[in-house]
Each structure stands twice: as C-alpha cells, then as structure tokens.
Amino acid sequence: MRAPPAPSGDATARARQLPSLHQLLQTPAAQALCAQFPRARVAQALREGVAELRGALVAGDMPSHAAGDAAFFREAEARLQAPRLAGLRAVINATGVVLHTNLGRAPLAPEALDAMDAVARGYSNLEYDLEAGTRGSRHAHLEALLCRLSGAEAALVVNNCAAAVLLALTAWARDGEVLVSRGELVEIGGGFRVPDVIAQSGARLVEVGTTNKTRLADYERAIGPATRLILRTHPSNYRVLGFTAQPERAELAALAERHNVPFMEDLGSGTLVDLRRFGLPAEPTVQACVRDGGGLVAFSGDKLLGGPQAGIVVGPSRLVQPLRAHPLARALRIDKLSLAALQATLALYEGAEPPQARVPALRMLAQSQAEIARRAGLFARRLRRRAPALDCTLRDDHSLAGGGALPEAQLPTRLLLLRHATLSADALARRLRAGRPAVVGRVVEDHFALDLRTVADGELAPLLEVLAAAAQGQEG
C-alpha cells in the first residue's frame, strides 16, 4: 500500500497561520454566537472547525473556506444547533398530510391539552374511586363514554391499536388458529405485519381465500377444532380493486356465532363519524362494526378519532372481560396523560357542536379548498411583504389524509410554492427544518411547497417568522 504524500512546506505554513481561538472569539460573528449559546460551547465549536481546517491543510487539501469567514461560522453554528435539533420538539406540519405518522399523527384539541395539564400538575384519581374511597380502575374513566359513542356493551383502552389486537389474540387464540383472508394480511407502519402479530400472540395463522377474492365458503371450509378466532382486518393504506369479493361483516359474524368462535374486526384507523359528509370516501364507522359484527372492534385513538395514541377495543362484555383480566393488559395499559387526553377528545363527540368544529384532525379533513385558498392568499400577501426574497405563487393541488387512512382520498387544496433567488428548494427545506419551530413541507418541481390545510391559525405567525429568517442570506 502506497504511503500518502508528505505535506508540503507551504501547506504546513498555512496551517500554522490559522487564527488562534482567542482571536476568533473576539470577532463579531463569534460574539453573536455567544449571545445564543454558552461561551464554552462556542469555543469548542470553533476549536473543532480550526482543527478540521488544519488537518485538511496538513494533508495537502485545499479547504472550501477559510478560518473566520462566513462559511466557517455557519459551520460552527450548525455544530451548535445539532443538539437542539435532536430530541422531540415542535414542528409546523405544512405537508398537507393530516395524520402524518412521522410528525405525530393527530394534533390534540385545546380541551385535551387542558385535561393533560390538569392531570400532570398533581395527583389524580387514576386508580382511585373517590365515591367509595377505595382502589379503582383506570379503565372505568372511559368505558361508559366509549359504550355510549360506539353502542358496544364494554370497552377497554391500551397504548395503541397493535397492542389491542395483540392482547385480543393472546387472550382468545393462543395455541389455536386464527382465520384471516389472504387479502387482509397487511403490513402496518414500521414494517409490522399482521402475520407477525398473530405469531407473537402464540396463535397460528390460517390463510383463507385468495388475495382478491375470499368468499364465506372459504371461511366455512377453514374452520376446524383448533379455530379460536375469525379476524377481519381493514386494508388501511391500500386497496384491491376490480375482480374482488369479500363476505359482508354480518355474514362473517353469523358464521362465527354458529361455530361458537369470537369474531374480531381490526379497523386500524377507525372513525366515529361518517366521513362522507365531508366529501370523503366511505369508511366503516365503529358504530356500524359494533352493530353488524357483534364481536370485538379495535381502532386507534390518534388517527381519524383525533385524539392521543391509544388502542381501543369495544364489544360484548363476555369478549372484552378476558382481555381486561389478562396479565398482558398491565404491560400494555394506557398512561394517565393519554387517558386524560382521550377522555377529553371523546367528550367532544357528545358536545353541542359537531366534532369537526372542535377536533383538529376532523376540521382539517373537512376544510374546503375554497377556505384553504382564502387562507393561502392572505398568507401569501403577508409573506411577500415580510420576506421579499421569496418568490411566492399559488397552485391547486391535493392533500392526503395519511396515517394509513383513506388511501384513495385526494383532498383538493391550494399550495403556496416558494422559490429563493440563491437557495435551492432542498436548501430552503433544510433551513426550515432547523427553525424554531421546525417547519416541514414538501418539494414540488424545484419549489418549496406549503399546504395550509395542516397549519393551524395560531401557527401562521410563527410560520411567517421562520420563513423570513430562512430566506435571509445565500446558500453556503
């Protein structure tokens, strides 16, 4: 192996001429950084920058910038910002994807935030019966409310929908067989698949029918002495169209009853309102599943329901009680803050106003293109005055529901398309992600695009300031 070339005398001399840390700290740029960050951290960032330059010079490379120039201090600021960018922090979602899984899915209503705050500030009756003065159950706080809303006889809440399905399979089908249509063996977020969840529960998967056509007779033939559960799963973020067949929910429920095995439907997202009233494709409501299926129904709290992360199971008491009594229920139980937020969110469905007036996710889904266009036009005028370096145009486009829900739904919207004189769309996007709050949009045909469907009114002012700050300067 050939040894690297020895550094030239000129390179070594240039390395020795680099400014000292003391000199760099006296510059206005360093003083500006010290106003934002502790002096010791600024000194360390500058020291690392000088060390990188020195190493490059000694190796005979020509750095793209010099110690003390604007690019040098931008790199130092990037080092200082890195810890700030790590960890959980607020993001303005300007992507137009309402239930954006990577951005935390449904934003919570003010009532849910207030409920969490009240519970977090002190003690609560999480597992205490105030009337009897004895130990209570955390599940009692939500069960009656969920039963009223769904029409079910009993209810249980755990920490997410996958946990709810795992608990039900473990309680009812361990060491037995679970029948699932081949067309419903879906993969959910993060690479988790229905067959994997079934295997984890200790049950054995029995595939029924074909990918596109599964008939009631296929289930009938598959039922045997080891059958413990018939599972129907919602296709979530995909659809099989064309030459298809699937038994009706009521038919599957009747078959399960005839053979004395439980029937369960995993809705995945799950909604308590008929989304067709918003001009969206039809989705089975929880109430319809309870009415027509007569078995267990599992759905999420943080998708179309518009609440916190939670997995909800409703159904007959005889099917829910074994879940509540199972040892796994304790490992999967919901925490007090999520419980408080879910209770407050569910209460909005019983309020005087329709839920889309109070639940942010439903309000975003129901928002018309005309309303979004009005908001986008007003914001564009403000942006042109505040950040003239950004060229701003408007264009019709589509938003998405996200969260594995309504994959065929394209929600008409109006995008703001931004272009900077010297910054590329990707560079502008990077700057906005580093903002406070961070802003996430999408890049569309060399423009940075904002969809205000998913930007709350209270976020417009901070969005304007972050955009104005990001538009300053040139690409480094």
Q: Is the pLDDT of residue 363 over 60?
A: yes
Angle at 396 between CA 394 and CA 400, to 5 degrees: 120
Partners of 99 in the β-ladder: 402
Q: What is the pLDDT of residue 476?
A: 44
Query: How confident is residue 82, by pLDDT bands cut at 50, 70 and 90?
Result: confident
Q: Which has the minimum average pLDDT: 28-37, 184-193, 418-427?
A: 184-193
**In the 8-state DSSP scheme, what is residue 279?**
T
Q: Is the pLDDT of residue 355 over 90?
A: yes
Q: Is the pLDDT of residue 405 over 50?
A: yes
Walk me through the domains of the chain, giving residue ranges and CATH numbers.
Answer: 9-85 (no CATH), 91-103+364-471 (3.90.1150.110), 110-355 (3.40.640.10)
Distance CA 349, CA 111 (A): 12
Q: What is the pLDDT of residue 243?
A: 75
Q: Is the pLDDT of residue 137 over 90?
A: yes
- Cβ neighbours of residue 371 closer than 8 Å, sequence gap 6 or more: none
Q: What is the pLDDT of residue 384?
A: 95
> Considering the entire predicted model, what is its pTM?
0.82
Query: How confident is residue 352, by pLDDT bands cut at 50, 70 and 90?
Result: very high
What does the mean pLDDT of the chain come to?
Answer: 90
DSSP helix/strand/coil, 23 = helix
Q: Is the pLDDT of residue 235 over 50?
A: yes
Mean local confidence (pLDDT), 302-329 = 96
Distance CA 228, CA 231 (A): 10
CB atoms within 10 A of CB 476: 14
pLDDT tens-digit map of 185-208: 877 666 678 889 999 999 999 999
- Read off φ and ψ for residue 129, nearest 5 degrees: -90, 105
Tell me how far apart the 2 most distant CA atoms of the chain are, in Å: 91
Q: Is the pLDDT of residue 378 over 70?
A: yes
- pLDDT cut 70: percent of the chain above it: 93
DSSP helix/strand/coil, 66 = coil
Tokens of 118: 């009240």
Burial class (CB in 10 A: 0-12, 13-18, 19+), 395: middle
- Read off φ and ψ for residue 391, nearest 5 degrees: -80, 125
Mean local confidence (pLDDT), 319-339 = 96
Contact present, 36 and 80 (Cβ < 8 Å):
yes
Mean local confidence (pLDDT), 428-454 = 94
Torsional class of 210: left (φ above 0), alpha (ψ -120 to 50), beta (otherwise): beta
Distance CA 152, CA 196 (A): 28
Query: How confident is residue 297, by pLDDT bands cut at 50, 70 and 90?
Result: very high
CB atoms within 10 A of CB 106: 27
Mean local confidence (pLDDT), 59-63 = 74
Cis peptide bond prior to 437, omega within 30° of 0: yes
**In the 8-state DSSP scheme, what is residue 420?**
E
Higher pLDDT, residue 50 or 190: 50
- Could you tell me the CA-to-CA distances from 464 to 81, 84, 85, 444 in Å, in that order? 21, 21, 20, 20
Tokens of 125: 């009756």
